Structure 1
Amino acid sequence: MHWILLRGLTREHGHWGPFAEQLRAAMPDDHVHLVDLPGTGIHYRDDSPGTIAGIRQKVLEQVGHIPRPFSIVALSMGGMVALDWAQHAEPGELQHLVLINTSSGFSPPWRRMRPGTWPRVLRLLARRELFHRERDILELTSNREVPLSLCKAWYSIQRQRPVSFYNAIRQLAAAARYKPQTRAPMADALLLASKGDRIVHWQCSAELEKRWCWTLKVHPDAGHDLPLDEPAWVIRQIREWLPGQ
């Protein structure tokens, strides 16, 4: 099986940290591919499209060398890209879909981004002092103690592959406007959410569960970056959900 991992707003492959290797260790017969959204990671010099559909099309250009069918683990805005992908996929293109702390136009704006978060996110994205910006992003997205080594690692990522303010705003606009089609793209998908998420309300995932009868698992206190806060829990939920695991 070939897993594609997609991150969220202004984040890239480096922000998965040890999670990707932990997933590989838990599923040694599978292959894990870290794919960057346009405007981030190895594509940080590219312009990000202003729609989720446009971002999805750019992602598809990166995965032509990967054998099908794909399975996807996607976080936050990456989940929107994955959902849009699933709704436009060719027969047999996608096998499994795991969406983590994502949202969609099916939920009201105050659940898609909690009240008070919009101005804080905009201030963070516009902040020029990179170390403190990355530290503050970690403190917003994680509910665990943030070690100095992690702040330095994320600071190093931004120094090497900086995301422009222009691309951050384009991604933010794409996420805010996104609304999926009404039809379910597959019979089941795994929805993982955190009750402690201070950015996206976990009920956004519950809305997808209710609408399409998908599988929902909710962590009681982890933050928005669930793979960072509770990687073992995430991997356990994936393995228990997969048939034959």
Structure 2
Amino acid sequence: MHWILLRGLTREHAHWGDFPSCLREAFPDYQFHTVDLPGTGVHYRENSPSTVTAIREKVSRQVSHIPGPFSILALSMGGMVALDWAQHAPEGQIQNLVLINTSSGFSPPWQRMRPGAWPRVLRLLGRRELFDRERDILRLTSNREIPLSLAKQWYSIQRQRPVSPRNALNQLTAAARYKPGEKRPLPDALVLASRGDRIVHWRCSAALEERWQWTMKLHPDAGHDLPLDDPEWIIQQLRNWLPR
């Protein structure tokens, strides 16, 4: 089985760190593909659309070479793209859907972006000193101690493949406007959330669980970047859920 991995707002494949390798080691029968949203990563020179649907259309064309059916694991805004994809895919194209710390128009704005996060996010988008900005993004999205080496790594990623302010704004606009359709795209999906998420309230994930009777698991203390804070916890939830 082929898995598509999608990251969140202004982030790219390199921000997964060792997580894809951990997945490949835990599930050697599966193939995992890290795919960048338009305007980020290998596509950083492209313009990002300002709607989730248009982003999803570009991403689906990027993976047309991967044989289906496939599964999707997605974080934050990537989860919105994945959910929109699942709702528009031909029947049977998407086998499994795993959404991590995502949100949607089913939740109120103050849960989709917690009030305390707005000033910090806006300051980050306008900050010119690149190293400090990437370190502060880590401090906001992770609840663990941030090694200097990791901050330097994220700084290097942004130096090599910078996300333009326009693309960051377009992605933020797309995420803020996104509301899924009413139809349940799959009989079950795995919804993972962090109680310690300081950006998106975990009740946004609970809203998807309650609406469509999906499976939800709540991490007690990790931050928004759950794959960074506790990758083994995610892998254990996958082990428990996939044999269903």
Matches of 2:243 and 2:84, distance apart in 1: 24
Q: SS at the partner of 2:81?
A: helix
State the distance in 1 between where 2:119 and 2:5 align: 28
Q: Note the C-alpha offset of 1:228.
A: 0.2
Once residues 93 and 230 of structure 2 are traced to their aligned partners in structure 1, the CA distance between those partners, rounded to angstroms, is 29
User: What does residue 239 of structure 2 align with?
Assistant: 239
Hey, what's the Cα distance between the residues in 2 that align with 1:188 and 1:116?
32
Matched residue, 1:206: 206
- The answer as to 2:140 corresponding to 1:140 is yes
How much does 1:119 deviate?
A: 2.3
| Aligned match of 1:85 | 85
2-structure distance, mates of 1:125, 1:26:
36
Q: Which amino acid aligns with 1:62?
A: Q
Q: Within 1, Cα distance between the matches of 2:27 and 2:188?
A: 21
Moved over 2 A (4+): none
Counterpart check, 1:104 vs 2:104: yes
Q: Distance in 1 between matches of 2:17 and 2:159?
A: 16
Q: Could you state the TM-score of these two structures normalised by the residue count of structure 1?
A: 0.99
Per-residue deviation, 1:116:
2.5
- Indicate whether 1:225 and 2:207 are aligned: no
Matched, 1:166 2:166: yes
| Aligned residue pair count | 244
What is the alpha-carbon distance in structure 1 between the residues aligned to residue 99 and residue 30 of structure 2? 19
Matched, 1:177 2:173: no
Partner of 1:50 in structure 2?
A: 50
Q: Deviations over 1:134-164 (max 9, x none)?
A: 0000000000000000000000000000000
Report Cα offsets for 1:139-197 as digits up to 9, x if no partner. Answer: 00000000000000000000000000000000000000000001110000000000000
Q: Residue 111 of structure 1 aligns to which amino acid in structure 2?
A: Q
What is the CA RMSD across the aligned residues, in angstroms? 0.7
Partner of 1:190: 190
Match of 1:33 in 2: 33
Q: Distance in 2 between matches of 1:78 and 1:47?
A: 17
Within 2, Cα distance between the matches of 1:119 and 1:49? 24
Give 5+ residue unaligned stretches, structure 1. none
What TM-score does the superposition give when structure 2 sets the normalisation length? Answer: 0.99
How far does residue 117 in structure 1 lie from its aligned partner after superposition? 1.3
Given the alignment of the two structures, is residue 119 of structure 1 paired with residue 83 of structure 2, yes or no?
Answer: no
**Residue matched to 2:21:** 21
Structure 2 unaligned residues grouped into runs of 5+: none
In the alignment, structure 1 residue 60 sits paired with structure 2 residue 60: yes
Report the Cα distance in structure 2 between the residues aligned to 1:68 and 1:243, rounded to whole angstroms. 20
